[in-house]
Amino acid sequence: MTTLPAPAELVDLTGSVIVVTGAGGVIGAGVAERLLLAGATVVAHTRSSPVELSGWDSEPPLTVVADLTTEAGPAEVIAAAISAHGRLDGLVNNAGIQPVAALADLDDEDWRAVIDTNLTAVHRLTSAAAAAMIGAGEGGSIVHVASIEGTQPAPMHEHYSVSKAAVIMHARAAASAYGAQGIRVNAVSPGLIERPGIDEDWPEGVERWRAAAPLGRLGTAADVGDACVFLCSELSRWITGIDLVVDGGVLTRPTW
């Protein structure tokens, strides 16, 4: 694969404080690392697992452990970032879950687990971040990590698709609600992203994806991360309320 340029060669986020939720996962870590390489000060959220990131120069990013499905958890993450760094310029709402189950088999508890994590937590985090940005009077950028399944549901992922469709609309609604205060809100919708073991766990699906994607490969966490870098930077200063699809072109096909 071609060596990627450091984001700092394209855009400089030095001085920006950006929270990334779910930074212990593959995509979250990739987003955090690309933001770090662009010069941002990153606050990495995790629910329980330790976060090990590369891309930092002097000291590792602050890690905040919190359960985002609680009423207090999202506010705690935002407060920790401001307490440590005195400001907040960006938020990447990446934390989410994707249990595999048939929609007809979901009970209320299973449904609430997906909605509480993938949607309600995003709303609470956005509200807390926006309040902090408005209080500082400087605006900021909020990015929701959604999914192409938010517009094209997949079997056994229907509940996840519903939650991500709502996340995409939440970005549009929040963009309208907070634009006057200088806060931009956008979504990024990844397609299938590489992770360790995916070729062994789902060889048939990976093969179909590669055959269907015009760009001929799975995505990487860095692909998603660079989309977030763009949306957190001044390069996207007049962009808000959009859903940026990062899928190698798969949605150009009727189905994959």
- Active site amino acids: 147, 160, 164
Tokens representing 244 are 């940026």
Q: Compute the Cα dihedral for 82, 133, 95, 19 and give only its sign.
A: negative
If you write DSSP's letter for every residue of the chain in order, what string do you get?
A: -PPPPPGGGT---TT-EEEETTTTSHHHHHHHHHHHHTT-EEEEEESSS-------SSSPPEEEE--TTSSSHHHHHHHHHHHHHS---EEEE---------GGG--HHHHHHHHIIIIIHHHHHHHHHHHHHHHHTS-EEEEEE--GGGTS--TT-HHHHHHHHHHHHHHHHHHHHHGGGTEEEEEEEE--B--TTHHHH-HHHHHHHHHH-TT-S-B-HHHHHHHHHHHHSGGGTT--S-EEEESTTGGGSS--
